[in-house]
Amino acid sequence: MALSIPLSLLVLWEVFSQTSILSPRYFPPPTLVAATLTRLLAGGDLWGETLVTLNRLAIAFVLAAAPGVPAGLAMGLFRPVRYAIEPYLALLYPLPKIALLPLLLIVLGVGEKAFILTGAISAFFQIVISTLGGVQTMDPRLLEVGRNYGARGIALFRKVILPATLPAILTGLRLGLGLALIAVIAVEFVTAKSGLGHLVFRYWQMLLTAEMFAAFVLVGLIGLAFTRGLRALQRRTLAWKEEIGWQ
């Protein structure tokens, strides 16, 4: 029942494409796309490109999260730090980070470093902003509880501030990962000569549409797996929260 709309869309597409109402040259029938996807996966090429993309994503994410969470916490807890960093945040947070790609290509040369760093920077600012927001919107009474019941310094941070901020941190990490994926795919689409983003681009240029759609579907499945996995992780870590909503 829940899958009826997507399924009927697929069936419509299949019929339209088979009967050439929709040009099969540009919109190959879903069955052909599925067959192509299986063939490409069996051939092994697609796995290689997938790994390249996932590898870039993983490094970019770690490069963003490792300094991003502490930076956000420090900004939230220490006012001078916030004042020092805030102006850059205000200017760079709304900047579409993909625009930094040419600069990074010039400075670091055309290669992995520049590709990955574009993804890392994309995620970094989101993680900082979310973490900072978490500290700032923390219920001040919980801090009073901590102090009145003898939690000081590190203990106050570990027992009160960190758990209170954790939902926001996890949200930031999840959004950051999404942004890093967007950036990495965009970089691959625009300039890199490998990865799933590049594959879609290359198949597009060669008008291998069945292959293009197969790669496209694969990206969708990876995205879906990430979203579902992270949501499950967030549910488990935050079992104490009443609900996490649709995000």
Residues 47-106 that bind other proteins (CB under 8 A): 79-80, 83-88, 90-103, 105-106
CA atoms within a 13 Å half-sphere pointing along the CA-CB vector of 173: 20
Residues 146-165 that bind other proteins (CB under 8 A): 147-152, 155, 159-160, 163-164
Using CB under 8 A as the binding rule, whether residue 178 contacts other proteins is answered as yes
CB 170 within 8 A of CB 229: no
Exactly one of 41, 58, 138, 190 binds other proteins (CB under 8 A); that residue is: 190
Smallest distance from other proteins to CB 234, Å: 13
Residues 204-243 that bind other proteins (CB under 8 A): 204, 209, 212-213, 216, 219-221, 223-224, 226-227, 238-242
**Nearest 5 degrees, angle CA 207-CA 54-CA 213?**
25
In the chain, beta strands by DSSP E: none
User: How many residues line the site for other proteins (CB under 8 A)?
Assistant: 88
Mention every residue, 6+ apart, whose C-beta is less than 8 A from residue 226: 177, 178, 181
Q: How far apart are CA 114 and CA 126, in angstroms?
A: 19
Closest by alpha carbon to 172, among 134, 138, 225? 134
For residue 111, give the DSSP letter.
S
Q: Which stretch binds other proteins (CB under 8 A): 30-38, 41-49, 69-77, 174-182?
A: 174-182
Exactly one of 123, 181, 192, 214 binds other proteins (CB under 8 A); that residue is: 181
Residues 114-153 that bind other proteins (CB under 8 A): 122, 133, 137, 139, 141-142, 144-145, 147-152
Closest by alpha carbon to 219, among 59, 45, 97, 46? 46
Between 47 and 83, name the residue whose CB sits nearer to other proteins: 83
